[in-house]
Amino acid sequence: MIVAGVDIGSQTSKAVVLKEDHVFRSALFPTGTDLYAVARKVVENAAQELGHTFDDIQRIVATGYGRVSVPFAADTMSEITCNAVGAYHFYPDARLVVDIGGQDSKAIKINDEGKVVNFAMNDKCAAGTGRFLEVAAETLGVSVAELAALSRRSGNRIRISSTCTVFAQTEIVSLIARRTPQEDIAAGLHESIVSRVYGLINSIGPGDTGRVVMTGGVARNDAIVSLLASTMKREITVPEDPQIVTAFGAALVAKSRLGSE
């Protein structure tokens, strides 16, 4: 059995190719504008890593914003379901998954069978997403990784009042003009994203038992993870490769559909 899951996100495309005994390889590319090409490339690369070719794959499930642009996928499935399936596979005691990706953030509540029981996604704009941090880092002239390091050194967290990414950028410029230390601005930006995500989590009634898992590109930012953990007063688990959890979930769905044919 060889199956694949491909997750075409707004910023990054990920693929997981999976065979027996849950042996898998993954690949990741920036999404760009040609969704079909990137989907094909990312699946091919993951297959090669596993010592196979694209044609060896028996079933592919596509997820993510670009899921409808993957004609070679047998099915599409929302990233909400795939994310939950992936997180539950790695951590069967997970009851809440927080996923912060390039342009969206999600809170997903799952039950002891791994089924989604409630979820929420950010509304309309990029506030509370990875893109917010990217734009803010660019405005400060640092990388996203440096932004996290800066925030940890802050002694006086500034409150960023704009939740809109574009207005926050204006606010950062005026804070720079007032000679506010970069560390404090960075800490304020992290706080802003965490409070948005925390609001999203609370909107679904997250419960207070079970493991909290964080996935998506922003889960690599340990400043965000620890700030969210202290805000929620819960421990947060970050998988080894948090960006591929959704693609992994899609591959598991492909596997179960192949089995039921």
Partner 1 sequence: MQSILDNLKLRYSRRNSEIVKWKDDTGGKVIGCLPMYFPEEFVHAAGLLPVTLFGGNGPITHANRHLMTNACGAVRSTFEDLLSGKYDALDGVAAVLICDQVRFFFQVWSLDHEFAFFHQMWRPFNMSEASRPFLLNELKRLKSGLEEFAGKAITPDKLRESIRLFNETRSLMRALNDIRKTRPGLLKSSDLAKAIAAGMIMPKEEYNSLLKKLLVQAQDLECEPGEKPKIMVCGHPCGMPEEEILDLIEEMGAVIVGDDFFTGSRYFSVDVPCSGDPVEAYADFYLGLTPCTTYHYPQNWIEQDRSLSTYGDYVADYVLENGIQGVILLREMYCDPFDLEFVMLKKRLEEQNIAHITLNTGHEAGSLETQRTRIQGYLEMLSL
Q: Decide: is 74 part of the binding site for partner 1 (CB under 8 A).
A: no
* Residues touching partner 1, count (CB under 8 A): 15
DSSP code at position 234: S
Q: Decide: is 123 part of the binding site for partner 1 (CB under 8 A).
A: yes
> Smaller CB distance to partner 1: residue 98 or 227?
98
Residue 87: count of CB within 10 angstroms of its CB? 30
Cβ burial of 174 (10 Å; 0-12, 13-18, 19+) is: exposed
Closest CA to 103 of 172, 36, 11: 11
**Contact between residue 116 and residue 81 where contact means Cβ atoms under 8 Å apart:** yes
- The CA distance from 33 to 42, in Å, is 14
Binding partner 1 by CB under 8 A: which of 88, 119, 198, 248? 119
Binding partner 1 by CB under 8 A: which of 78, 162, 169, 195? 78
For the chain, the first-to-last Cα distance in angstroms comes to 13
Q: Decide: is 164 part of the binding site for partner 1 (CB under 8 A).
A: no
Q: Decide: is 76 part of the binding site for partner 1 (CB under 8 A).
A: yes
Binding partner 1 by CB under 8 A: which of 7, 79, 134, 191? 79
> Smaller CB distance to partner 1: residue 80 or 98?
80
Q: What is the Rg, in whole angstroms, of the alpha carbon atoms belonging to the chain?
A: 19
Binding partner 1 by CB under 8 A: which of 74, 116, 142, 229? 116
Q: Decide: is 104 part of the binding site for partner 1 (CB under 8 A).
A: yes
> Tokens 């440096």 correspond to what residue?
146
Q: Cβ of residue 39: shortest distance to partner 1, in angstroms? A: 16
- The CA distance from 230 to 213, in Å, is 14
Binding partner 1 by CB under 8 A: which of 117, 164, 176, 238? 117
Q: Decide: is 70 part of the binding site for partner 1 (CB under 8 A).
A: no
Q: Which residues form the interface with partner 1 (CB under 8 A)?
A: 65, 76-81, 104, 115-117, 119, 121, 123-124
